[in-house]
A and B are shown apart, each in its own frame.
Chain A
């Protein structure tokens, strides 16, 4: 055995020995670890209540990082159950794992603390003798808060570099027993990490609650009104006819990640549609399959609604609204007598992963319309849905692009059930093979299938259009004149993304026009069929297959542009020799021979197309984006008050800044315009759109950056879940701020602006600003709003020798 190996083993033995020694010491001092039932029917007078006192603090100060799958150490503090579950060193996001991980979805994959312990989670609340002393000494939560108290956030301008706030920060998931080591190594790393600490009052409240044993009272019962609504919906979903069962399955597979909101219930009440072993009227026993189309494992199951008991964080908040009209719509779309269902499809993964086979009996136009009705939700599900942040998969898209849809009535590819059924074999998705490492199959199987599908589609269209007429503007879905999902804009912010209604921002590099087979496949690829706990092969296959789908959407868009300009325009999207070569191989000009019927009058058909569809869609397209598309640079909302108009006028100038000078600008900046009257204060978001020479490759994104084409988009209100910076500016200084902003051209000029107007991780008013933005978001969008995540809140600058004190 080599000497180094020997040393390594010895070190491990010593470390393990130390840990065992510390555990033994805790055992002696505080008793052994055992199951603790913390439930009490009510609190004694003077006791701290979790729901009334503690949870609001956790929500505002802890959940801004400890929520969703990317919560550090999987410690979800968004609900009591997450606190009780504790943390683990296992990662949810791991693009390199060879084997799929067992899912660890809170409320789903384990039903008790014991089960979580068996799955490797360690406690953060005391599970030893329930004495006040042990309740604090054995609680990681208390120890972390205490550490912050002893070593508060440095009072310096720059956050010391010893704080690692990078996305790939090593996890330090300490236990109470090993905390002394953590404290020694990272004295500044108390919680909240790299942010100002709690106030004395907040600190005391949580510590008091921990000292009293972390007691919890039962949650209040569901309201009668909620019960009534849910009963109606459960009745609908659990209808016994084959048609109803198939329709329910279809809807469930599309809503399983939705935050369902019933219009007549309180704004912040949300439900999940789940498959349950128990029927209506009984407590829900959720079937914990990885995917919504997995074999449920029971002969009979029920679609049930399960109330969401966690704090709502915006990064996984995908709202789907339900109301009486929606049920009518479902009936209208799916439950008419114009078709029959004689047999239910299986849950065999090969077939179930292909919705065109599973739901072949449902009319294509109904399925498509179902998706279009809530297109923003569907697209948002791609982005936030199962993952709350993307990994390598997100670099498959550009930072900013528009989406339009084919009209369901006009586009035969979208409404011809028989045609879709005939090509369904070609539309198989990689998830059908579960997690494996056969990445080559993407090219050997799926690419060939995609090619066959596109050939079949082309042949079919040629047969339908013997005169070889191409698409005209009426092939674009106009939202039926009222649905504001007709046009969408996607923004990618490195490893997260947002989708908003309307055409927001200046003319982007690309656009997608999506038909039913494409929309459905993207959904099943990225949402229904995606397993965040899957292995590297699964994740890579998903990414690679998404390349084909993106190109299909882009080519659809090209089909509306002048035929003689298509090559030139597409070449702009795939710059670089390797990208061009790959594009030629994978993305031939299928279906792009027909000329469009749209008449173009300018030399910028891309821009003209977006203008035309904006005009064609009419009211459903929403108002014109005067902040980003204002040729005179002085556009205002005439309905806005004078304060807002002043802020609009000033801020819209920032969108003129682009290229290398905005490299130092953060991806997402939230601006708080202080008007002097709190109620009138305004919020804006500045989004940095980073250009790439192409999206053809998974890696080396930095090498493909085209900084000269970077742009900024200004949005009123909020876009994005992970702000990178906050700006606070008095309305009286707004012009001065913009003037300074426009002068930014390097790290130093950015720093100068940021130190004057920015809120820093070390700013004493950091939490005040964070709270303001959250409250403003709640006020503006009471249903869609959620807590912003602060994990990606960046330093205004970083300096290795910045001194600090506390």
Chain B
């Protein structure tokens, strides 16, 4: 039974993936070439449309699964795969019609599979003509046996923003389920992606002998920082200038373990450390104790959250660590800090400590659990609230709960400021702080206020979001299509209104989850390789 269900999952995953990955078939841009040159098979179907299409309404069992209705694309993005799903098996070939509200002629395409990837010229034409008004994409289903009938039909509208992304995306790929071990570390890859590219983003770091994790860049993209267990120091973190070939050496590393700790506590990892936008400071959870359980579930293979910890900051200039007043209360766990872009504020997640979850606080272990994420969540609930303090050059201040993101019966975490300082987007779920099936993105005014669920949220797991440097776009991860997390991109307007997202299908992989994506203010190719000196 289990085997069968696994097969089913794989099948479903494959189908879902195909929506993001398949390339196009026959297409015809009637604006570019006259109708007399139109291939016969397309012409035949187009003619039928004029007589039959009005008799066929939408929702005839055909659903366009991608793009989503209302999706806004960046102007520089490479072509997506348009995919649909027909519940019945009535159709065996499909006509795709892209219509524009302007006088521009439609674009036609014929597919014998349930997806179509426009080629670059076609896609560029679609984008260019969907800036002011959306383009309408309609998919018609036909059956060879009954060539006169339209068996299915559905439409969506997409548009293209004038706002460019103008940034690369740095992200990590890991195999699932995630198991701790050197063997797995070596398989982890880091890629630097360009959304305009039709190629898979190049790998810039791989085959590491140690674990590496969260990373962030300075606002101007000149500095990269990343958690990396250099020389087996789990608190090690490198900060180094961005360059084509980054060779990491001793002087690039700091270690959060240099922050004095009470003897009883385990070594500090520098959990969820964040470099400040200017690159002058870092802030991180220190003195932390975490609960970690690994499971064999492909999608939700770990439950992880700190049960104890305070925030400390680090001065990059004078290489000194300090507790951050206001986020240094040992009666709580304070974690997941985030800088405002002007470095005036730090927002972080706070919860009552949960050290009772550890059998022996002096001997913290990663649990291997034969239980699903929902059962683990029931057994180990934790809810975080978002608090804000002034950074105040390290002097901190009084923590204030953020309205809309605190004391709402949910867990609120991973806050990120919009670059214009107006908004905070955070993740919310019933419990936990990471990898939660029900996690969704919410947006609030930066000083707190009513929380609004974002339109970009997909059905399953939405988190790890990052704003583009110009603030117009936000990317995030989701498992809506596959357990192997994918990266999505949503447009955010000046009112904080987001759009149904774009799936960055070329960033996806059948065997790797794409996670911790971060926008970086550099062009493609700015980093070609990152490696540890002396290591291949």
Contact = CB atoms under 8 A, between A and B. Distances in A.
A799 interface: yes
Contacts of B263: 156-158, 797, 799, 802-803
Interface string B248-285: 00000000000000111100000000000000000000
A162 interface: no
Contact of B363 (A158, A749, A751, A800): A800
Interface residues of B, number: 14
B331 interface: yes
A747 B355 contact: yes
Nearest to A798: B362
Nearest to A795: B264
B361 A157 contact: no
Given A158-B264, A746-B353, A797 B330 contact: no
Interface in B314-364: 330-331, 353, 355-356, 361-363
B308 interface: yes
B416 to A, nearest CB: 30
Interface in A754-806: 755, 797-800, 802-803
Contacts of A158: 263-264
Contacts of A797: 263-264, 362
Contacts of B330: 748-749, 752
B262 A747 contact: no
Given A157-B263, A158-B263, A797-B264, A748 B361 contact: yes
B331 A748 contact: no
Contacts of A803: 263
A694 B262 CA distance: 39
A751 B262 contact: yes
A745 B361 CA distance: 13
Nearest to A803: B263
A743 interface: yes
A751 B264 contact: yes
B366 to A, nearest CB: 16
B165 interface: no
B353 A749 contact: yes
Nearest to B307: A748
A802 B262 CA distance: 10
A157 B262 contact: yes
Nearest to B352: A745
A632 B353 CA distance: 30
**Most A Cβ at <10 Å: residue of B264, B265, B353, B363:** B264
B98 to A, nearest CB: 61
Given A747-B361, A748-B289, A799 B353 contact: no
A755 B262 contact: yes
A54 to B, nearest CB: 36
A746 B357 CA distance: 11
A238 to B, nearest CB: 62
Contacts of A743: 331
A749 B262 contact: no
B308 to A, nearest CB: 6
Nearest to B330: A752
B363 A748 contact: no
Given A743-B331, A748-B289, A755-B262, A800 B356 contact: no
A415 B262 CA distance: 63
A158 B262 CA distance: 9
Contact of B361 (A746, A755, A802): A746
Interface string B224-262: 000000000000000000000000000000000000001
A286 to B, nearest CB: 50
B362 A799 contact: yes
B341 to A, nearest CB: 35
Contacts of A157: 262-264
CB-based closest 8 A-B pairs: A799-B362, A797-B264, A157-B263, A746-B355, A158-B263, A747-B361, A802-B263, A748-B355
Given A752-B330, A797-B264, A802-B263, 5 more contacts: A743-B331, A746-B361, A747-B362, A749-B330, A798-B362
Interface of A: 156-158, 743, 745-749, 751-752, 755, 797-800, 802-803
22 contacts: A156-B263, A743-B331, A746-B353, A747-B355, A747-B361, A748-B264, A748-B289, A748-B330, A748-B353, A749-B330, A749-B331, A749-B353, A751-B262, A797-B263, A797-B264, A798-B362, A799-B264, A799-B362, A800-B362, A800-B363, A802-B264, A803-B263
